Amino acid sequence: MTVPACRPHAPPPAAVEPAYAADHARWHAARIEALRAPQGWLALAGLYWLRDGEYRLGADPGADIVFPAGAPRDVGVLALAGGRVHLRLAPGVDARVRGEAVTDVVLRSDVDPAQPPDRVELGDRFTFLVIARGERLGLRLYDTQSSERREFTGIATFALDPAWVIRARFEPLATPRTIEHPTVLGTVQPAQVPGTAVFTVDGQEHRLTPILEHGPAGDSLLFVFGDRTSGRETYHGGRFLLADLPRDGAVQLDFNRAHNPPCAFTAYATCPIPLAENRLPFAIPAGEKTP
């Protein structure tokens, strides 16, 4: 369902087509389910940046990287040398990677989207993996019993409004360019820009720059944007909007699916923040509000 333009201050429509409402409800349910997953964003319990050297892991307060209570007191030793991460488990620790028991293993990070990282599972509660962010490597820890996961009650949203489903013209670049995208950490990470989406709101033309997102279901466009609701009704760090790749020179921007970045739920995420050109000068009262 698309419309060529919309009015940011218009009242919500009297009725929403049942098929569109049902499709959106399915999307929202899947979104909540992903957040609540055992290794979803709500289960994050730690992020520890690594330098070359050895780190003793475990719930022992004297460990170099202290895991939450409930983890083994001595998990083992993690060693980083020349970009290679080696894990030696302590005797008796039940650790598995892809279902196979491990005692001594070199861990693959998430640097390559085509190669899933090695996730180390400690029993049925804790999981950790190595993440790569630019030149940095870090240890990311999940806890299925995190307070954020246990206490999560959902996300408030604006009323569903089909007027915020906008068909945008897509202006592709002859050759996609790689940019240094700013992150919430104050760092930058490489991102590929394939072009620009051009759309009209209340008679005015606006532009958004997407980055190419590589996901399990294939490539898509990720728009990281801010608007006049940012820091008020919506998360101050902006919101995310995913769209299918362009078709027939156009992309559909369904702002009802504008959603909070992981950083709105946890301090242990490394989200991109909006580019300067993606800070829109009007309010978009659609999609998710601040958690």
Instruction: Please give the sequence-ordered ranges of beta strands (E in DSSP) within the chain, or none if there are none.
Output: 44-50, 53-58, 65-66, 76-81, 84-89, 95-97, 100-101, 104-107, 120-122, 126-133, 136-143, 165-182, 188-201, 204-208, 211-215, 218-225, 239-243, 250-254
pLDDT of the residue at 8? 47
Which domains occur in the chain, in start order?
18-36+155-278 (no CATH), 41-143 (2.60.200.20)
Q: Are 287 and 239 in contact (CB under 8 A)?
A: yes
pLDDT at 7 over 70: no
Q: What was the pLDDT predicted at 13?
A: 53
Q: What is the pLDDT of residues 162-211, one digit of tens each?
A: 999 999 999 999 999 999 999 998 888 889 999 999 999 999 999 999 99
pLDDT of residue 193: 97
**Mean pLDDT over the full length of the chain:** 93
Amino acid 5: pLDDT: 45
pLDDT of 11 above 70: no
Give the pLDDT score at 164.
97
- pLDDT tens digits, one per residue of 80-130: 999 999 999 999 999 999 999 999 999 999 998 788 999 999 999 999 999
* Burial classification of residue 68, based on how many CB atoms lie within 10 Å of its CB (0-12 exposed, 13-18 middle, 19 or more buried): middle
The band of 4, judged by pLDDT with boundaries at 50, 70 and 90, is: very low
- pLDDT tier, 147 (very low <50, low <70, confident <90, very high otherwise): very high
**Both tokens of residue 227?**
């608007």
- Reported as a pLDDT band with limits 50, 70 and 90, residue 10 is low
| pLDDT greater than 60 at residue 1 | no
| Band of residue 229 on the pLDDT scale cut at 50, 70, 90 | very high
- For residue 12, name the pLDDT band (cuts at 50, 70, 90): low
Q: Say if residues 224 and 196 touch (Cβ distance below 8 Å).
A: no
Is the pLDDT at 2 greater than 50, yes or no?
A: no
Assessment of whether the complete model's pTM goes beyond 0.75: yes
DSSP for residue 154: -
Dump pLDDT digits (tens) for 62-74: 999 999 999 999 9
